[in-house]
Structure 1
Amino acid sequence: MKVLPLILSISFCLIGCSQRRPIETKLAMAQNAIANDPYSVFLILDSLSPYELETRGDSAFYNLYYVEALHRIGLYTENDSMIRISEKYFEDTDDKKNLILAYLHHGITYLDFDNEQEAVLYLKKAESLALKEKDKNILREIYTNLSTANMVAGINEFALKYAQKAIEISKQSNNMNHYGRDLNFLATIYYHIGKTDSFQHYVMQCIPLMDKTDAKAEILNNLGRFLLENNRKKEALSCLKKAEKTKYLPETSMLLGDLYETEGKEALAVRYWYDALGSKTYTTNIHCYQKLIKYFRSQGNTKTLIDLIDRLNVTYEHKSDVDATQLTKFQSDYDEEINHQQNRHKMIFLLGTIGVLAFLILLFILVHKKRIRKYHHLIEKINTQYISDLRTYRNMKAELSQLQSERQQNQLLITEKVKEIAHLQEKLSEYQDDRQKPDQWNMEENLMDAEIVIHLHSLASRGKEAARPDWQELRQVLHRIHPVFFTNLLSKGNLNDKEMNVCMLIRLRFIPSEISVLTDSSPQSITNIRVRLLNKMFHQTGGARQFDELIRSL
């Protein structure tokens, strides 16, 4: 089934890369084949001659893909020279995406050499870059290898921490293949650190995922280990045999050897122990060498015994001494530095956000103030125009009265004045909510022409609030000229000063914008007072205009 995806990826690559050099096309083919069919990568890369690697970049990508494909199939290089060439090139060209891969596989290379100290150094470099690039898929692989390095070094706390981080990424991506593999690896860690209950718990969680992941053999291997340790040999043998058929695992061969040893099938056990040698896991090799040495010592086979002891010593010598305390401190310091950098970036982002918000708030305040000024200017303009029209109206009325009182014979002039007065009445009615003309205002001339009324109109036109003496004088004038209104008003309930002032201004035909200025209130507040007083004074519900009509009828 893997052949079809490979053919498709190669076909797309050939179409998209028709303008590339031939080596670039083959390198792109190798890159696309790594995930699905790493074995084909060697066929592609081996088809290239050294002369075709014309540039440093060609060699860097060639080496990276070669080493990555080796690690995908469980093999490793004899030294780190290939991956080091790739790493240096990607550092020089600041190619962070491929530099992360180079650091990752440099770390895996050192893991293969049983050098956990150097492995962790390169894996932490890869983690630092991957966190900045927010590449979660490669972060998961980094965490898995960091967990392995710490498990081998005996740093159990870090081994568990990184394994759980890998599981979290798998869960978030909803990748059941990775999730099953990572969950099984966590179970393996718990086994190696001696926490059998947790080992059993996670092995049982892996069973439903067995057919959803390519780690089926590894899950069967751990299940067989669990059954074997619980002396359920028949079930353990069944699981381990299924694992053996699914995929070659040195650990499965080691467990089968141990199982056959308990059944007295020593020859079969020896074959499986030999089969497990060469494992990438240090403890597996040591265990199998010790079992074989014990067996051949009991058989008196000195030649084979000496050979196995020499090979065991080489394995011991090959194992690098790891200072667990130093390695723990190194990782803690590295994590602290990464957290410090992340917090610094967050702080810079937060300060930038606060700065933007402060600017927007300031801009809003300035725009709002400008709109308020514009609004006040408009109110003052309307009030000034109203006063001007009102004064003109009064002058026209005075002139008409004068003409009529003197009984002038110039009827034409009188007619013109009448027309002008009618026009001004129409104009003044437009300021009123009920659109009534001055002749319909039900208000005495001497009240309209009172000095305090004119004074209040003047204050409104200049945007100034009326003072307390102004209100007192207005009450006196109303009480003197229109005592019936004042009596009716007082009979409607206990009104506060502001409510009384609003009622007087409405009766005197002050428009809402004037009332707003004189009482130092917003237009909406004046509207709300009128609606509330309608209910309070007249026990009715309705709008502000209805209230105005009732007040003017008093």
Structure 2
Amino acid sequence: MVRADSLMEIDMDSAPSALRMLDSMSPHVPYLSKSRRMRYELLRAKAMNKSNVYFRSDSTMKEVAAYYSHHGTPNEKMMAWYLLGCVYRDLGEAPAALEYYQKAAACADTTAEDCDYSILNKIYAQSAIVLHSQKLIDEELDMWHKAEYCGKRAHNIRMAISAFENTVRIYYALNDYNKVMQISDSASSAYLNSGYKDKAARAIFIQIDIYLKRGDIKNAEACLHKYEKYGDIFSSPGNVKPGLELYYYYKGLSLLASNRVDSAEYYFRKMLTGSARDEKEAAYRGLLSVYRSRRNSDSVFHYARLYCDANDSSWLRLTSSEAQRVQSLYRYTRNRQQAELREREVSELRLMIVFLSVISLIVVLELYMWHRRRSFRMKSLLLEKNRMYSDLLHRSGEISRELSAALGENSRLASELEASGRRLRAELDKMQDMSSTDADWASLQKLMESDLIKNLHDQAAHGRSAGQKDWSRLNTYVENRYPRFLSFINNLGSNSLSQNEKKVAILIKLHFLSSEISCLLDISPQNLSNIRRRLNLKLFGSSRTSELDRNIRDCKN
């Protein structure tokens, strides 16, 4: 888990590898302690979030967040609530996501030297994104400013500039184009000074739209040139990377404004290959402008209709999104009211329990004091008589009483130990599916004196396979203890045993259970069953695996 956590902190591309690493240990998770299981689920959710894997349920993270609300460091508490907010973000529950982001931020100990400002930056950035979808502009702007501050405190300049750059879309929505130009210029310069040429070029992309709206073709083309040259946007010559298709639209508008109509049409048509509806709407709008400039009325009518249809589709999608936002707010409000009602009921019940507990405590205390006073009076009356009687008993019967008690205790203890031994042997016979002889029992007791055997049993109990050093030590142990048996299984001629078959034979000889052997060899029970059948056939000429354990243990040493 530590390795997976370190791996996902390297970069975003390493997160899927960390997720696969964590998923590979999922069969062992039910056997972990609660603290380690919660740690595992926290790291797995973190890896999923970094790998852009959508959360589909809130049940696991609710349990994790509840656990870390009372355990762990402030950074772990902050991470748990943040990831629960991300779950509700993916489930489309924006108000709930905001609530848990706020809880996460409240867990941060900003006075501590190890405060994780990187996580805090993500919390504020995610809050800003949710607030943007809820059209809460002032609150969104505040979140981006806090994210920028945390990026600086985390000494992550790229993170801080990114938060500052994201305020652009707020001022763009407010039609404050001067502020947009100012912020994008500042962000671009900051990126450039920090060595991020591609991000510096991308930061001014929004200026292309503003220059084209103002009819400033020269500056629009200059911005396009920087974007093309330094933005790292092309996957192959002439083709942009997925998600950057809007470049085609502005490239087409720039060419159209320069009367290069054919070239503009080429870029508008490249947008039609995309699957996003917004891209098609922009493409139809661009082609409409192309054919309007050519005065081709049939094509103008055709693309005007397509543009209207795409625009209507976008409007319906926006309306649906707005309806979902209102519905989400309604569900959150209703759930919050129900939660508050339950909380009031629990508070009232808790108050009643406290009241009854206090009354009960008073009654019990009074009874105790009465009993204590009564006992004290009785003790005072009998004290002298008891002292005299005690002295006589002590002097006359001390030696015989102690001797009898010691003999009786040893006899009873011996009986109990003998009964416990019989029960233990019966239980071991049941687990081994065979009846042990006195020689078997003595052999098993002798084996358990070895640290190597104890360690192998412990490894099997924890589901771990034996390593090469363990097998080497075990081979030496068997060579010293059972030399004739080792010679027997090593010299079978044409029926020679494979390495796994030899290991199985040795482990059976040493009284290991089949389930333990599967773990130590890291093989399936079915595979082990097949090996046992082959082993009995090669060693004793019988395919009945039920006889194998007795045959091997009765074999010459």
TM-score by length of 2: 0.44
Pick the structure with greater CA Rg. 1
TM-score by length of 1: 0.44
